[in-house]
């Protein structure tokens, strides 16, 4: 429903990527698009195979890669693991590869040993103005309607990658020092495990997990601090959106993305351990470090000037990801001769 009515949506009406090859090949033959972009590893293979069997050799194909192959190797099993091995042989035949961060591009280079002269890092675009407009609404939940206690917020699918267990344990430490509440937005298969940990820590009255919400921006904007405890990323969208609404950000220095966003002038390959880094646009903490996550949350909640500094810095940084800046970069790789 958020897609412009000017965009035509075509369903291949297929229940699997493999079965979609012939319908997509037919589409390529009959519609002859100038360029096709595939945005996940499964659609990369689908597009390449469909292009071959359609005999449409001139169609320009671009692959977008949103997460590192090192991370995918940890998650994929069986057929997906085989696909991960095979897909790198398709990439030399593309007309361009877009990665969402320098870290993802470097990881891909190590994985495939490709020549990357024709490829480009393009950060995820955000409609900053629209995000700010959506953020003006106040959530219906009582914690936000009568806000007398600081709120910590995080956004993401409930899965091991996001490491919400570390966030819950850190929050339990914060609660011993200062009354506060935690909101985790997102759905996923890991909900039962998180609810069990909430119960174990005795946080039932202070943790709210509403599942997927259509407008997370209003929750983030009316919280006091945004925390990302991810173990890996490609380019964390929720973090970019938190900056746009002016909520101070704490993020684990995971591969890849948070460092490039919060400390853009540092080496993106660096990952801190046993220290907290007060980066220009947010606080970076080690992966899985409950103690340092808790200390950083408490510092932002207890120091208004410290929090304001990061609130203002985040808004400035978010402008670099506005779609008006990102769009020309995509057009340059999609239509290089125009």
**Is the per-residue pLDDT at 223 higher than 90?**
yes
Q: Dihedral, CA atoms, 182, 186, 192, 197, nearest 10 degrees?
A: -20
Cα 231 from Cα 114, distance rounded (Å): 26
**Is the per-residue pLDDT at 118 higher than 80?**
no
What are the backbone angles phi and psi of residue 194, rounded to the nearest 5°? -70, -40
Residues 35-47 have pLDDT tens digits of: 999 998 889 999 9
Q: What is the pLDDT of residue 87?
A: 80
Contact 124, 104 (CB under 8 A): no
Contact 224, 300 (CB under 8 A): yes
**Is the per-residue pLDDT at 89 higher than 90?**
no
Q: What is the pLDDT of residue 314?
A: 98
Of the chain, the percentage scoring pLDDT greater than 90 comes to: 81
Q: What is the pLDDT of residue 57?
A: 82
Q: What is the pLDDT of residue 76?
A: 79
**Is the per-residue pLDDT at 116 higher than 70?**
no
What are the backbone angles phi and psi of residue 190, rounded to the nearest 5°? -90, 10
Higher pLDDT, 3 or 291: 291
Residues 45-62 have pLDDT tens digits of: 999 999 999 998 889 999
* Entry pTM: 0.92
**Is the per-residue pLDDT at 117 higher than 70?**
no
Tokens of 277: 């880094």
Confidence class for position 325, pLDDT limits 50, 70, 90: very high
Confidence class for position 338, pLDDT limits 50, 70, 90: confident
Residues 132-176 have pLDDT tens digits of: 999 999 999 999 999 999 999 999 999 999 999 999 999 999 999
Mean residue pLDDT of the chain comes to: 93
Q: What is the pLDDT of residue 260?
A: 97
Cα 337 → chain centroid: 31
């Amino acid at each position: 429903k958020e897609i412009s009515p000017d965009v035509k949506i075509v369903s291949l009406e297929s229940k699997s990527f493999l079965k979609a090859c012939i319908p997509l090949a037919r589409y390529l033959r009959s519609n002859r698009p100038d360029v096709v972009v595939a945005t996940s590893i499964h659609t990369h293979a689908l597009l390449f195979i469909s292009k071959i069997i359609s005999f449409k050799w001139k169609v320009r194909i671009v692959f977008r890669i949103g997460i590192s192959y090192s991370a995918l190797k940890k998650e994929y099993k069986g057929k997906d693991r085989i696909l991960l091995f095979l897909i790198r042989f398709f990439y030399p035949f593309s007309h361009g590869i877009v990665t969402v961060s320098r870290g993802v591009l470097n990881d891909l280079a190590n994985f495939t040993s490709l020549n990357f002269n024709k490829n480009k890092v393009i950060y995820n675009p955000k409609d900053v103005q629209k995000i700010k407009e959506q953020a003006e609404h106040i959530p219906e939940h009582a914690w936000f309607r009568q806000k007398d206690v600081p709120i910590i917020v995080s956004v993401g699918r409930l899965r091991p990658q996001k490491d919400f267990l570390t966030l819950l344990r850190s929050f339990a430490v914060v609660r011993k020092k200062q009354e506060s509440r935690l909101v985790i937005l997102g759905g996923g298969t890991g909900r039962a495990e998180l609810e069990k940990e909430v119960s174990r820590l005795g946080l039932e009255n202070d943790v709210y997990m509403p599942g997927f919400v259509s407008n997370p921006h209003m929750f983030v904007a009316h919280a006091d601090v945004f925390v990302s405890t991810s173990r890996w990323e490609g380019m964390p969208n929720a973090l970019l959106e938190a900056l746009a609404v002016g909520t101070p950000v704490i993020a684990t220095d995971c591969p890849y993305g948070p460092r490039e966003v919060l400390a853009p002038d540092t080496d993106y390959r660096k990952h801190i351990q046993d220290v907290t880094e007060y980066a220009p646009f947010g606080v970076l903490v080690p992966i899985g470090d409950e103690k340092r996550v808790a200390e950083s949350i408490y510092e932002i909640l207890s120091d208004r000037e410290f929090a304001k500094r990061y609130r203002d810095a985040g808004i400035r940084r978010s402008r670099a990801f506005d779609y008006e800046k990102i769009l020309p970069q995509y057009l340059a790789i999609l239509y290089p001769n125009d």
